[in-house]
């Protein structure tokens, strides 16, 4: 179906300047080269180690860049920072023939370098041309080693710090990623000492850091002797950047923050949404039924190999991520707009509920992914390539879902790259985008129409504060439509005093945790 470009139009709400507080942290400059929603990205399935001194929490202090302000909005929209020209070139040509035994580890190294430069991990995985050539077991190893290295990066860097008197820097800075991988294999994946040491040294050589092979050998051998005791002196909290620790402790308390940090270190389960017959598919997929809607099972392979995928019976979606679309309570043939729709998990829910859905995204690549996902699921929608800030429908609609771009700090278990790609300063740029989207989208509703606003963030600045500012500016034209316990199901304990939902992963340890979310439902009174 053709994409439609819609001209820009005014919003229904006057836009006051937001002055929302963001937790402050010790000042540190922006990294020059920093930078799975695994659940939704698997719809298609087919969905610091930079050599700098350590800050007070043993996280590396990045180099400053003069482009921070100019690129803030771009980073917020894309979920990462724009790639910089390579400034970390190895001392010799890295494009040597890689032995078969090192192929998997070389791919992991390439993935970590891409993440270091601002690429999201799931994008780095999907764009790596060597990964599909591996056997399934080796592909699982690549993902496991990459995610383990990223999840536990803070701890591993604390372990490595006393063993490396002078960290590689500049053109050799990416050699630190190889040491990180080696430590992760030895201490966390329990790879045999001989294999871990030899593969780390050889990978250092194969990537062009020949002069650092001696360093790698010495560090890895010391890790075999001292690594366990050094690791015991760390905690999962070390993996959170200092600004995030401060924010979560302030808003959610020490106990919840510790529990969220612990949960973030575990591999996520596979959550599934189905078009119909959830109980029946739970049996077919050997899965547990959660809240009569989502299926959950342990699985570390390719979801597309499971029964029902090819026939489009289901898609991968975190149990908490499936809640916002349900809370719209779509009736058959209601007109619905899904804003920021790609890759399409919530779009699929709205269509399956009977809505006539217009799915909007401002990225052609993401819209193409959405089109492929809906084709597999055999679900129809009107796809629109447009910026939601300037879009206006031909006629008022019954419902709008705004799954807004956000810091995604509620998804760090699925997206460990977030831990090193987000900064406190990003929240300000994200707030502006969220404000622009929600205030424009409210103007699309008919009288009595409803909107659900959601972010997969644990930052109140992107949830509670945005909704409060919108209601204050609305002058009675819009109001919060309180979510009931029956509607929320197992998430009823997350209903706030204002009738919104604030999901903390630590509140759902009994089912293995979920992504963190904020959800609000608004009603048009005009």
Element housing 187 (H / E): helix 175-187
Task: Give the mean model confidence (pLDDT) for residues 461-488.
Answer: 97
Is the model more confident about 361 or about 1?
361
- Supply 510's token pair: 């009994």
**What pLDDT is recorded for position 101?**
55
Cβ proximity of 49 and 168 under 8 Å? no
Is the model more confident about 365 or about 42?
365
Task: Give the mean model confidence (pLDDT) for residues 128-149.
Answer: 93
Helix (H, G, I), strand (E, B) or coil at 439: helix
Whole-number percent of the chain with pLDDT over 70: 81
Q: Is the pLDDT of residue 37 over 70?
A: no
Peptide bond into 318 cis (omega under 30): no
Task: Give the mean model confidence (pLDDT) for residues 335-363.
Answer: 96
Q: Is the pLDDT of residue 82 over 80?
A: no
Whole-number percent of the chain with pLDDT over 90: 77
pLDDT band at 38 (very low <50, low <70, confident <90, very high): very low
Exposure string (b/e) for 491-507, b if CB count within 10 Å is 16 or more? beebbbeeebbbbbbbb
Beta-carbon contacts of 171 under 8 Å, excluding residues fewer than 6 positions away, are: 88, 89, 90, 91
**What pLDDT is recorded for position 108?**
97
Is residue 456 part of the annotated active site? The answer reads yes
Give dist(CA 335, CA 356) in Å, integer: 5
**What pLDDT is recorded for position 11?**
38
Task: Give the mean model confidence (pLDDT) for residues 7-25.
Answer: 39
How does pLDDT run across 389-398, given as a tens digit for each residue? 999 999 999 9
Mean pLDDT of the chain: 85
Give dist(CA 34, CA 411) in Å, integer: 18
**What pLDDT is recorded for position 300?**
73
Q: How far is CA 138 from the centre of its chain?
A: 24
Task: Give the mean model confidence (pLDDT) for residues 495-499.
Answer: 98
Task: Give the mean model confidence (pLDDT) for residues 140-145.
Answer: 94
Give dist(CA 185, CA 389) in Å, integer: 46
Task: Give the mean model confidence (pLDDT) for residues 360-373.
Answer: 95
Give dist(CA 285, CA 300) in Å, integer: 14
Crossing angle (nearest 10°) for helices 103-116 and 136-151: 40
Q: What are the backbone angles phi and psi of residue 271, rounded to the nearest 5°?
A: -105, 140
**HSE (side-chain half, CA atoms, 13 Å) at 317:** 25
- Supply 294's token pair: 């989502």
How does pLDDT run across 205-238, given as a tens digit for each residue? 999 999 999 999 999 999 999 999 999 999 999 9
CA-to-CA dists, residue 77 to 224, 454, 497, 499, angstroms: 43, 15, 31, 28
Q: What are the backbone angles phi and psi of residue 374, rounded to the nearest 5°?
A: -70, -30
Beta-carbon contacts of 509 under 8 Å, excluding residues fewer than 6 positions away, are: 259, 263
How does pLDDT run across 321-337, given as a tens digit for each residue? 999 999 999 999 999 99
Task: Give the mean model confidence (pLDDT) for residues 257-261.
Answer: 97
Task: Indicate which residue of 213, 340, 406, 456 is catalytic.
Answer: 456
**DSSP assignments along 444-486, one per residue:** GEEEEEEEEEEES-S-GGGTHHHHHHHHHHHTTSEEE-PPPHH
Share in percent of the chain as helix, strand, coil (round to 5): 45, 10, 40
Query: How is residue 495 annotated by DSSP?
Result: B
CA-to-CA dists, residue 277 to 78, 251, 293, 510, angstroms: 35, 39, 9, 24
Cβ proximity of 403 and 462 under 8 Å? no
**What pLDDT is recorded for position 7?**
36
Of the listed ranges 69-78, 139-148, 278-287, 297-306, the least confidently predicted one is 69-78
Cβ proximity of 519 and 454 under 8 Å? yes
Give dist(CA 265, CA 281) in Å, integer: 29
Cβ proximity of 501 and 323 under 8 Å? yes
**DSSP assignments along 346-405, one per residue:** HHHHHHHTT-EEEEEES-HHHHHHHHHHHHHHT---EEEE--TTT---SS-EEEEEEE--
Give dist(CA 75, CA 92) in Å, integer: 32
Cβ proximity of 202 and 99 under 8 Å? yes
pLDDT band at 21 (very low <50, low <70, confident <90, very high): very low
Q: Is the pLDDT of residue 36 over 70?
A: no
pTM for the structure as a whole:
0.81
pLDDT band at 83 (very low <50, low <70, confident <90, very high): very low
Give dist(CA 335, CA 358) in Å, integer: 8
Q: What are the backbone angles phi and psi of residue 472, rounded to the nearest 5°?
A: -65, -35
Q: Is the pLDDT of residue 23 over 80?
A: no
Task: Give the mean model confidence (pLDDT) for residues 72-93.
Answer: 44
**What pLDDT is recorded for position 302?**
85
Give dist(CA 55, CA 17) in Å, integer: 34
How does pLDDT run across 175-189, given as a tens digit for each residue? 999 999 999 999 999
Element housing 503 (H / E): strand 501-503
Task: Give the mean model confidence (pLDDT) for residues 246-254.
Answer: 97
User: Apex CA 147: angle with CA 294 and CA 42, to 5°?
Assistant: 35
Edge-to-edge strands, sheet with 294-297: 288-290, 294-297, 270-274, 314-316
How does pLDDT run across 106-134, given as a tens digit for each residue? 999 999 999 999 999 999 999 999 999 99
Q: Is the pLDDT of residue 518 over 90?
A: yes
Q: Is the pLDDT of residue 506 over 80?
A: yes
SS (H, E, C) 264-302: HCCCCCEEEEECCCHHHHHHHCCCEEECCCEEEECCCCC
**What pLDDT is recorded for position 88?**
45
Of the listed ranges 31-35, 362-366, 378-382, the least confidently predicted one is 31-35
Tell the burial category of 10 from Cβ atoms under 10 Å away from its Cβ (0-12, 13-18, 19+): exposed
Crossing angle (nearest 10°) for helices 175-187 and 136-151: 100
């Amino acid at each position: 179906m053709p994409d439609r470009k819609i001209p820009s139009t005014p919003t229904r709400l006057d836009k006051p300047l937001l002055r929302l507080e963001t937790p402050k942290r010790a000042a540190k400059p922006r990294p020059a080269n920093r930078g799975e929603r695994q659940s939704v990205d698997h719809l298609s399935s087919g969905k610091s180690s930079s050599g700098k001194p350590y800050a007070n929490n043993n996280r590396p202090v990045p180099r400053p860049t003069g482009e921070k302000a100019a690129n803030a909005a771009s980073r917020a929209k894309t979920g990462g920072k724009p790639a910089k020209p390579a400034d970390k070139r190895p001392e010799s040509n890295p494009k040597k023939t890689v032995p078969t035994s090192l192929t998997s580890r070389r791919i992991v190294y390439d993935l970590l370098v891409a993440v270091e430069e601002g690429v999201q991990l799931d994008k780095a995985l999907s764009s790596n041309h060597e990964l599909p050539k591996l056997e399934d077991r080796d592909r699982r190893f690549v993902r496991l080693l990459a995610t383990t290295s990223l999840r536990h990066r803070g701890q591993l860097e604390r372990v490595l710090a006393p063993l490396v008197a002078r960290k590689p820097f500049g053109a050799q800075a990416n050699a630190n990623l190889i040491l990180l991988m080696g430590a992760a294999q030895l201490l966390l994946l329990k790879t045999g000492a001989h294999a871990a040491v030899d593969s780390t040294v050889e990978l250092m050589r194969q990537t062009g850091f020949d002069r650092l092979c001696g360093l790698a050998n010495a560090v890895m051998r010391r890790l075999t002797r001292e690594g366990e005791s050094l690791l015991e002196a760390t905690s999962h909290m070390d993996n959170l950047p200092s600004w995030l620790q401060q924010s979560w402790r302030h808003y959610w308390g020490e106990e919840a923050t510790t529990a969220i940090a612990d949960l973030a270190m575990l591999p996520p389960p596979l959550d599934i949404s189905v078009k119909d017959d959830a109980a029946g598919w739970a049996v077919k997929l050997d899965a547990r039924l959660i809240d009569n809607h989502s299926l959950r099972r342990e699985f570390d392979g390719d979801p597309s190999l499971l029964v029902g995928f090819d026939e489009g019976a289901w898609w991968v979606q975190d149990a908490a991520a499936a809640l916002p679309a349900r809370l719209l309570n779509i009736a058959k043939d209601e007109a619905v707009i899904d804003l920021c729709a790609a890759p399409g998990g919530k779009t699929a829910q709205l269509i399956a509920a009977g809505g006539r859905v217009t799915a909007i995204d401002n990225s052609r690549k993401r819209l193409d992914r959405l089109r492929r996902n809906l084709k597999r699921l055999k679900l129809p929608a009107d796809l629109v390539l447009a910026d939601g800030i300037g879009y206006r429908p031909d006629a008022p609609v019954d419902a709008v879902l705004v799954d807004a771009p956000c810091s995604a700090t509620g998804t760090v278990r699925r997206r460990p790259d977030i831990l090193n790609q987000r900064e406190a300063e990003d929240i300000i740029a994200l707030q502006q985008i969220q404000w622009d989207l929600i205030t424009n989208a409210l103007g699309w509703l008919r009288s009595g129409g409803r909107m659900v606003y959601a972010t997969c963030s644990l930052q109140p600045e992107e949830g509670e504060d945005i909704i409060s500012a919108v209601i204050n500016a609305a002058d009675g034209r819009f109001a919060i439509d309180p979510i009931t316990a029956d509607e929320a199901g197992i998430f009823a304990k997350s209903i706030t005093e204002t009738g919104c939902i604030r999901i903390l992963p630590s509140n759902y340890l009994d089912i293995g945790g979920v992504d963190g979310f904020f959800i609000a439902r608004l009603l048009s009174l005009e």
